[in-house]
Amino acid sequence: MPQLEFHTFPSQIFWLLVVFVALYFVMARLALPKIGTVLESRRRKIDDDLERASAQREEAAALLAAYEKALAKAHAEAKSIHAQAHQAMADMIARRQAEVGARIADEIRAAEQRIHAAKQPAMAELEEVSAELVQAVADRIAKVKVTMTDARAALKASGREG
Amino acid sequence: MASPLHQFEIQPIVPIELGGIDISITNSALWMAIAAVTATAVMVLPVRRGALIPGRWQALSESFYEIIANMVRDNVGTAGRRYFPFVFTLFMFVLFGNVLGLIPYTFTYTSHIAVTFSLAAFIFLAVTAIGIAKHGFRFLGLFFPHGAPAWTAVILIPIELISYLSRPVSLSVRLFANMTVGHVILKVLGGFVVSLGAFYAIPGLLPMAGLVAVTALEVMVAVIQAYIFTILTCIYLNDALHLH
C-alpha cells in the first residue's frame, strides 16, 4: 500500500508544511480580511438603507397625519362657515318677516282708524237726520211740536230699549 | 490493468535531498500546490473589486467565508475568532484536496495518512497547548465530567483520557480511509467497465451506471469529509477553550 511507504513521509510532511503555511498566510493576510470588509460594508450599507427607509416612512406617516389634520380642519371650517351662513340667512328671514309683519299691522291699524274717522260724522249726520225725521213725523201726525233736543233724547231712549 | 492502489503511488517529479532526507517535489506536493493556488484564486480573484452586489464567483467566495465563519461562531463562540483563519485554511486545503482528487489522473493528497495524521497531530497538539495555556492545571478537568460521583473517576478518567488521545487517530484515519476507499471503489468499478465493455456490450452498462452513481457519492463524500474534519477541529478547540 503506497500510503505505508514510510520513505515518502518526509517529503509529504515537508511540502504539506510549506504549502499549508503559505496558504494560511494568503488566506489570513489577503483573502479573508478583504472578504470580511466587503461583507461588513455590505451589512452597513443594508443597515443604513433600512434605517433611511424607516426614517422616510416615518416622515411620510407624519406628512399624512398633517395632511389629514389639515383636511379635518378645513372640513370643520367649511362646516362652521356653512352653519354661520345658514344662521345669517335664518336671521335675515326672521328680521324681514318681522318688518313686513309690523308694516302690515301698521297699515291695518291706519286703515281701521280711517274707517273709524269716516264712521263718526256719518253716524252724527244719521242721528241728525233721524231727529229731524222724528220732529217732522211728530209734527205731521200728532201735531206736536217737538224740540230738537227732545227728539234726540227720545231717539237715544228708543235706541237703548231697542 | 494497473492495480487500484497504483493511483496512490507517490512519484518524485523534482528529486531534492536535504541533509540526507528526501524532500523531493512529488505528485503529492504538486497537487497540494495546485489546490492552494486554486483555493487562492477562488478566494482572492472574485473579490478584488469588492462589489456591493456579488457576482457568481464572489458569491462563492463569500459563501465559503460565511460557512466557516458561522461554523466557528456556532461551535467555538467569539473566543474562536482568532483561530478562524487557521480553520478556514484547513477547510480549503482539505476540501480542494478531496475535490480536485476526484478529477481523473489527478492525485489525492488527503488519501495519505502521512498528510491527514500530520494535520490531525498538529491540531491535537495546538488544541492541547491552547487548553493548558488558558486553563493551566484545570485543563485536566476535561478528563473528569463535572458533578460525577468521585468513585467513578477510576473508570471515567481512563475512558476520557483514551478518547482524548484517540482524537488525532480518528480524525486522520476517517479522512484518509474515506478518500482511499472511495478512490479504490471508483478504480475497481472503472476496471469492470473497461473489461466488460461499456460501449459495445450490455454487461458493461451495469458497472458504468454504478460508476456514475458512486462518482456522485464521492463528490458528496469529498465535501462532507472536509466539513467533518473542520467541524471536529472546531469542537476540539471549543473543548480546550471552554472545557465542558
Residue of A nearest to B22 (CA): A11
- The A residues from 70 to 99 touching B (CB cutoff 8 Å) are none
pLDDT band at B199 (very low <50, low <70, confident <90, very high): low
Mean pLDDT calculated for residue range B97-119? 96
Touching check for A12 and chain B: CB below 8 Å? yes
What's the half-sphere exposure (Cβ side, CA atoms, 13 Å) at A2?
22
Residues B5, A34: C-beta atoms closer than 8 Å: no
The pLDDT of residue B143: 85
The ipTM estimated for the assembled molecules is 0.92
- Assess whether pLDDT exceeds 60 at residue B1: no
Taking the CA of residue B192 and the nearest CA in chain A, the distance in Å comes to: 21
Residue B36 Cα distances to B32, B39, B41, angstroms:
6, 5, 9
The pLDDT of residue B196: 80
pLDDT band at B243 (very low <50, low <70, confident <90, very high): confident
Look at residues B65, B29, B34 and name the one whose alpha carbon lies nearest to residue B47.
B65
Taking the CA of residue B58 and the nearest CA in chain A, the distance in Å comes to: 9
Mean pLDDT calculated for residue range B184-213? 82
Residues B115, A16: C-beta atoms closer than 8 Å: yes
Look at residues A94, A153, A57, A38 and name the one whose alpha carbon lies nearest to residue B66.
A38
pLDDT band at A154 (very low <50, low <70, confident <90, very high): confident
Mean pLDDT calculated for residue range A132-143? 84
CA distance A122 to A120: 5
The pLDDT of residue B206: 82
pLDDT in tens, B80-103: 999 999 999 999 999 999 999 999
> B201 or B226: which carries more pLDDT confidence?
B226
Residues B26, A26: C-beta atoms closer than 8 Å: no
Residue A118 Cα distances to A110, A115, A122, A124, A125, angstroms:
12, 5, 7, 11, 11
Which chain A residues contact residue B172 at CB under 8 A? none
- Assess whether pLDDT exceeds 80 at residue B118: yes
pLDDT in tens, A61-115: 999 999 999 999 999 999 999 999 999 999 999 999 999 999 999 999 999 999 9
The pLDDT of residue B60: 95
Neighbours of B106 (CB within 10 A): 17
> B90 or A144: which carries more pLDDT confidence?
B90
CA distance B59 to B54: 5
pLDDT in tens, B136-152: 888 888 888 778 888 88
Best of A9, A24, A35 to mutate (most B CBs within 10 Å, chain B)? A35
Residues A27, B89: C-beta atoms closer than 8 Å: yes
> B220 or A132: which carries more pLDDT confidence?
B220
Closest partner residue to A24 among B32, B85, B114, by Cβ? B85
Closest partner residue to B85 among A1, A5, A27, by Cβ? A27
The pLDDT of residue A160: 64
Which chain B residues contact residue A7 at CB under 8 A? 22
In which element (H, E) is residue B105 found? none
pLDDT in tens, B18-70: 888 899 999 999 999 999 999 999 999 999 888 888 999 999 999 999 999 99
Touching check for A30 and chain B: CB below 8 Å? yes
Closest partner residue to B115 among A12, A22, A36, by Cβ? A12
pLDDT band at B200 (very low <50, low <70, confident <90, very high): low
Which chain B residues contact residue A45 at CB under 8 A? 52
Best of B88, B107, B181 to mutate (most A CBs within 10 Å, chain A)? B88
Q: pLDDT > 70: what percent of chain B?
A: 97
Residue B1 Cα distances to A1, B183, B187, B191, B199, angstroms:
17, 16, 10, 8, 18
CA distance B111 to A8: 14
The pLDDT of residue A144: 80
Residues B39, A8: C-beta atoms closer than 8 Å: no
Which chain B residues contact residue A32 at CB under 8 A? 43, 65, 84-85, 88
The pLDDT of residue B203: 73
CA distance B107 to B9: 9
Contact in structure between A11 and B22 (CB atoms under 8 Å): yes
